[in-house]
Every structure is written in C-alpha cells, then in structure tokens.
Chains A and B, each alone.
Chain A
Amino acid sequence: MVFGRSNSRRPVEPVTLKILVAGGFGVGKTTLVGAVSEIRPLRTEETLSEAGRPVDDTAGVEGKTTTTVAMDFGRITLREDLVLYVFGTPGQDRFWFLWDELAQGALGAVVLADTRRLEDSFAAVDYFERRGIPFTVAVNCFDGAGRFPVETVRTALDLDPGVPLMMCDARERESVKEVLVAVVEHALERVDGSRRAAAAT
C-alpha cells in the first residue's frame, strides 16, 4: 500500500505565480522573502555544469566544473486557488543563464538596492529592462546607510520614468507587502497599456 489514502478528496489545483527578487549579494533578498513568506524561506539548489550553458562548447570539457547555485524562495497563499512564490535570484552575475529560467512566466520583479553599493543593482535593472519584465526598484534602508532623495537614486540608476522606485525595510512585512503590491500594479499598468495599444492598431 504505497499510495493508500484515507479520503478521495481531490486537492485544489491553484494557479501559481512568481515574483523575482534580484539585487547584489547581501542586499537582503532572503530577508525580504522571509518577511512575507508563510513558510520559512526554502532553499533549493541547482547543480549546474559548464555543459549546461546555452552555448555548446565541447572544447575544454576536461576542465568542466560544476557549480551549485542556491535560490531562496517563499510562498504566499493568497487564496486556496491562488499561490504566489517569491524567488530570490542568485546574486552572482555569472549565473544569468539561471535567471532566464526563473524569469520565464514571472509576473514581475523587485530589484532590491543598497545605496552604499548601487552599482550592484545595475545588472538586475539592465536584465529586466531588456527582457521587458515589469520591475520595481526598492531601496533597502539599512541602518547606518545614508538616505538619499528618491530622485537622486533614480538618476544614479538611470531608471526609466515609468519604473516605480520606493524605499523599503526588507525586514518589515508591511513594507515588503507594499513593494510587492507596487510590482503587481506596475505589471497591471503594463498589461492595460499593451492591451490598449493592441486595440488601437
């Protein structure tokens, strides 16, 4: 009786959605995920080899290395039939090829930034801009980090005017909720906008 079950109730099949959280190493991605997740952030690992790269290159196979890439994620059950997963993307730029898979079908993204190391956010901003994935920049207000006016940060990151930028505290549930709401609202505007554009043509 391997799969014996006491009742025959069919489980609900929820719609699942995902939001990505990107940003430099140590910027607070896992903290942000943990602040809203109903489960302790889980860690999943993908063992990648150089052979897993999108470019086939058989030269140098003898030196093939494998790398374990960790992603932290949390789950928010919005309704019995609607579940949102929040994924922290791997911090190192050289795992961009893993982002592609994570980004597929993502509702939107948060770029978490630290004003002391804004340059760490450039890769993520660039990535989501190029892929046309709706994203919001959230500046994690670390204790002791200088506070800058929103416009200064916007200019420093060279953000498009339409990209929402907000201050947040990645440890605070309410603050993180606001960030996620901003991402989905931004995604909604984008969908509305493209529907209107499609209707106009």
Chain B
Amino acid sequence: MSESAHHSQNPHHYFDAEAGPVVRPYAMTRGRTSSTSHHRLDLIALVVPEPAADHPVHDQSLSPEHVEIVERCEDTPQSIAELAAGLDLPVGVVRVLVGDLVEDALVHVTRPVPPAELPDVNILREVINGLRAL
C-alpha cells in the first residue's frame, strides 16, 4: 500500500493532529461498530422522529449525540449523510446511534429505492422536470 510505503520512507514523521480527535469517535457508540438492526442504513436514508419523541423522555441511556440527532430531524428529516456532516462524526458512528434510536422507537428511517428495483419512471420524469425548473 502506497501509504505505508510513504511512512516507512519518512521515519521521523510524527503524528499530531492527524492522529485524530481526543475522544475516539467510537467511544460514543461504546465501541460498537454496527447496530443490531439488520439493514445497513443508506447514506440517503432519512431519519424521521416518531410521535413518541414528542413526549418528555427521561431515558438515561441516551447520549447527548442521540438527543441531538432527534432534535436535528424534528423540523426536517435529515439523511444519515447530513447528520454525519452536521455532527462531525463518521458515518459509521451515526449509523450505530440512529440504530439505537430506531430500536427505542424514537425515530424511524425511510427506506430508499431498493437497489435491485428499477426506479419508477414517473419519479425519474419528476426529477428531470424538477431539475429544469431550478
């Protein structure tokens, strides 16, 4: 791999900022790298808060990041990719956190078009019209 070759050629290369954040991202997921749900959440899957999330929730198991995800999605559902960018967390971490919220029935996630299916012709036409109208 070219990268390791690069490092070996520079034995005095020190890691600093590149070594990453002080709190390792996966500490927020308590070390989990995948959620218990069977589907890997697509980058454009939208996170929609459930009505139950309207009520006060005193769930001690929720981290501030969980709470922030629900709050960010309240007015406009956000995609996994947008949440990752907004929270400045790796996509993998957001997937685990959203998986927790799905499990707790605080949010649900929209399922994008299954890859095996051809996209609906009408939707494609609407996309073309929508783009032209921009």
Contact = CB atoms under 8 A, between A and B. Distances in A.
B67 interface: yes
B43 A15 contact: no
Interface stretch (A116-124, A145-153, A158-166, A188-196): A188-196
11 contacts: A2-B70, A17-B44, A42-B81, A44-B85, A46-B90, A67-B3, A102-B43, A105-B114, A180-B131, A188-B124, A195-B118
Interface residues of A, number: 54
B27 interface: no
Given A10-B51, A195-B118, 11 more contacts: A14-B77, A17-B127, A36-B134, A42-B85, A44-B91, A75-B79, A78-B130, A79-B126, A84-B131, A184-B131, A187-B124
Contacts of B38: none
A181 B128 contact: yes
Interface residues of B, number: 57
Contacts, number: 156
B132 interface: yes
Interface of B: 1, 3-4, 25, 40, 42-46, 48-49, 51, 53-59, 62, 67, 70-71, 73-77, 79, 81-82, 84-86, 90-92, 106, 110, 112-115, 118-119, 121, 123-128, 130-132, 134
